Amino acid sequence: MKRLPLMIALVAAGTFVPGTADAVGPVEPMPGTLQEIRGIDVSNWTGQVDWPSVVGGGGTFVFVYASEGTTFRNPLFAAQEGGAAGAGLFRGAYHFAQPHESGGTEQADFFVDNGGGWSADGRTLPGVLDIEDNPYANRNGLDNCYGLDQERTVAWLKDFTARYRERTGREAIIYTTTDWWRNCTGDSSAFGRNPLWLARWGAEPGPLPSGWLRQTFWQSADSGSLPGGQNVFNGSLTELRMLAQPPAELAAAGRPIGSGGYGVTVLNTGTIPATRVSVVGRTFGGRRITGASPGCRFSGRAVRCTIEELRPQGTAELEFATEPTEPTGHAKAVERAKPDKSAKSIKIAKKAEPAKPYRQENDRAVHEEIVPDAVEPETAEPEAPQAEEPEEGMKVTIGTVMVTIDDRN
């Protein structure tokens, strides 16, 4: 037997905050135009910032100093980050590493607990690990690599980035200089998955550390027309939006349920929550939808559902009940005239019951071709060619998952 299939399309939509923030924040350039995406970095030394003037001066993003080691918190962090958010800027936090004082795991926890976390609001950038020349050499008596050899430095970096990924689901951005990276890590290529924020004051970024083909951000000066450090994003505004809110990673699988029912399992395979996942579907092959899971609306052959949130590795189960549509007119006459493929006739005393959702029943009465005794096979009209039905399986693309349920014997 063939179960007539239900096709489901899933589209993951990231959560973006509407309203006044978008109204005063950066605007997507017209197609075909080039726009330099400028931003700043600020600390407690910057003091209070006139955030509307940053937007008016062409600023699009900001990184705010949040913490250092496991003891220092920027006393102005809340005011600076809140002001940037109110102005509609993309914003992220950064942590100044002190790898000689405590482990990478401990400092990542301190950072996340003090402003360095990430939220799926469409405006928060991943947190930054600021690792550079030791500025306290006169005080702590250590070299530029904080007294760590290259092996220990790489291990510390791996501990920090792994813990940050575990806590937030995002890859920490690494801020560094090419010289420091080469001297203190041995030019390690182990961190290419982490976005690079390259510090090099001058007219061009210059050579990159090993492991990166491009920088994501470039700090070109410590001061300029905007407050704080002067930075450029290496990409478009759309790409900056995607760094703040990457598309969710979804997978899905379908299955038949009982007589005329269909089920779909949706899985978040990524590391960040998937919010407001839209599920739209339609039946084909002469069936209509008669029931669906909570959160779904249906009419005729169409259904639309919304999954409010899927945590990483979380699943959602959706189920749909369908029944055959009643053939009319010429279609009904053709249905009566179809030859008996099983070489026997089946007498039906009454109309088959509609498909009942979510129950394991014998679906023969619903799906078997029915030929009344009064119609002889040789007098029947030739059966019209049938269009090939989609094969059972799952098609996956970025941001969109296509599932086709087709029960074949």
41 is annotated as an active-site residue: yes
The single residue of 68, 81, 109, 130 carrying the catalytic annotation is 130
3 state SS for the chain: CEEEEEEEEEECCCCCCCCHHHHHCCCCCCCCCCCCEEEEEECCCCCCCCHHHHHHCCEEEEEEEEEECCCEECCCHHHHHHHHHHCCCEEEEEEECCCCCCCHHHHHHHHHHHHHCCCCCCCECCCEEECCCCCCHHHHCCCCCCCCCHHHHHHHHHHHHHHHHHHHCCCCEEEECHHHHHHHHCCCCCCCCCCEEEECCCCCCCCCCCCCCCCCEEEEECCCCCCCEEEEECCCHHHHHHHHCCCCCEEEEEEEECCCEEEEEEEECCCCCEEEEEEEEEECCCEEEEEECCCEEEECCEEEEEEEEECCCCEEEEEEEEEECCCCHHHHHHHHHCCCCCCCCCCCCCCCCCCCCCCCCCCHHHHCCCCCCCCCHHHCCCCCCCCCCCCCEEEEECCEEEEEEEEEC
130 is annotated as an active-site residue: yes
The single residue of 132, 133, 179, 407 carrying the catalytic annotation is 132
Which residues form the catalytic set?
Answer: 41, 130, 132
